[in-house]
Structure 1
Amino acid sequence: MATWDKDQAMFIGLLDKYSQLDQLKSFSGPDTIELTSAGDGNLNDVIRAKKSGQSIIFKRAPPYIKCLGPEYPLEPSRGQTEYDALCVFSELALASVPRPYFYDHESRTICMEDLVTYKDFRKQLISGICCMEAVEKLARDIGKVHNQTHVAKISERSFSEYKSKFQDTELVKLTEQYIFTKPFDKFDSTNKLSDDITSSLSQLYDNPRVLDVANDMKHIFLTKKECLVHGDLHTGSVMVNGADTKIIDLEFAYIGPAALDIGLLLANYIFSYYGHMSIPEDHDRHRKFAQLMIEACKVTVNKYLEEMTSFVGEQQTYQDKLLSEMAGFAGCELIRRVVGAAPVEDLHSPYSKQDALGAGVRLLLGRHNITTVDKLLVIALMLV
């Protein structure tokens, strides 16, 4: 209780410190400010402040991984990275993220817009709810940011400034470990090799080609510096309100390969596809929704490419390689969510997990032959 009282005093002090901001003027005056926890994030504290019908969000980065405790230290500068990324996304893709109000260095706290009317996109998909206009907006927003921060689009000086601001942080290293390294080591203790996927593991661990391609994707992830990427774009890091979307949790942002964000996002639509295909009750309805996820993948790539028109070298060659890398990143994401430390709710049955694992393996093995979203889906979903 004493700790919470201290936290309350700190957050109220921040409101007073930044009271000159227009967005915070409604929080001045004698009325009581109500502070409540607004999320169960693994890394950060998220607090909602409410007063007189208005609300804002505080996001504080402790110097450790919140869900694991102080014995797992983590550089708190991730708060600055997230704030800087929120500002860039807000400028380049209007209304793509919650509006950032301020970042307080001393307390390592971001203050931002409260998305009180928005819902978690992953949970919506699990419930069988998806607005295709929201899918389109999300793809366009990512495309705008990638295009307008792309090495081929902006000056060398501007690109150097982005690289200086968005460096390879500890979180980038965590991503490298938990997407591209640990899941492909069958002896790693952080993996969750449950009994319901045991019979499918040989296709992953007994095929050196799969492991070689995963290692290639890790190299691309670490070395290809093309544009500002979200770095951890999954359906749980998107909030939706009808046709509108807001991208959240930008602390993983860095200068990396353009294919990463869309590859991860495509994998998450594929999770939803297999999740719904494996539900026996009301099968026709779930199968129909699964087909909608195929459309979501196509819309995502097509709308993204309408916005992300920058390229290095010859355009068609660049886009072919971009799609191939999307397939590789999608494959790694599919595999790591089945065998790695961070599973997803979409995969709720042994069949959905086995199917997703198989899709990931096929995408890695076939990625060099994938230059269109249609080919990606044929290979991932075994469409005929």
Structure 2
Amino acid sequence: MQNMPQHGDVVIVGGGPVGALAALRLAQAGRDVILVEARAQHEPVRDARALALSWYSREQLALAGAWPDSLPATVIDTVHVSQQGGFGRTVLQHDDLGLPHLGAVIDYPVLTAALADALAASGVKVLWQTRVEGAQSLSRYATLSLRTADDAVATLTCRLLVLAEGGALAERLPGITRRVHDYRQSAVLAEVSSSQPHGNVAYERFGAEGPFALLPHGERMMLVWTRSHDDAQRLKEGDDASVLAELQQAFGERLGRFDSIGERAVFPLALRQLNRVVSGRVVMIGNAAQTMHPVAAQGFNLGLRDAVGLVDALAGAADPGDAAVLRRYSAGRRVDSHAVVGFTHGLIQLFDGHHPLVKALRGVGMSALDALPPARRAFASHLVFGVGV
């Protein structure tokens, strides 16, 4: 058994980017932090996702020491939003907000490796290859039941327990329920190349068969295409030429001709949101609190803002698990989380209709947003910085 502590000021379950960012920033604030992660320390992360980070998210990671200059990432300077088979479009520029860039695209394994390096340098105690089998909140502390890699059982107590894992632990807590909406869709992920350079433009296009994004990814682009489960499987297994032809038909020739596509990965999509994010001395952030549709690339950025918001709420608190402190956190995150979840869910509903009148109204809306600089800047600001943050 690794050197197992018995108590910590704050214990975070889940060593993904959201949990790791919270651990790093809390340690910087002088908190005694223990991070519990089921993965082995040097286990390769096999995840096909490329993450589209807002510039705010990128800066928060840099402040935590997890974004070295050498990190391979591709910046986003422009976001181009349009719909297939209808007029109207909106173009958001980094100049709209006076930022060097709107965001950046980075591979999930690359970011997790950078965060692991930052954790090692920070001195945060990380319990690698340790699973949480149960969690309970008591009046003065929270307690966790742990199982280590050598099958040993241990108990760990803390004044505040932060759940930043997939969400299974949260559903066992008193007063916690989870709203689930199955979109009956899957996201198809693949790297594609085109005859023309992307120019650091990210495209969000609402296609006839489902919305898709093309994100600048090195010299190529990362495709995230929402389709029905059957269509997604067909695209995964189809020959490259037929999939590229289908993408070309849906996107047009803004990037010239698509000439290659890599291996495809498929992920089912659902909205999952807790009725509340605090139960006693336990708080939920990131995917433990909500997961959402990838349209507009807001879910991961929302989770990182959860982590930053928690650090801010705990500033100066003698007891990080105090009820008043956690109420402050919950109230501070409510507007942003509900607005972003509602926005992404609403986009899927809005762009699901194919009636000509509905298409025309959508086109008018996008054109109006593009033509009104104050509205466009406000919209871009919400995407980059969140709502009410």
TM-score above 0.5: no
Q: Which has the higher contact order (CA 8 A, sep 6+)?
A: 2
Give the TM-score, by structure 1 length. 0.23
Structure with the higher helix share, 1 or 2:
1
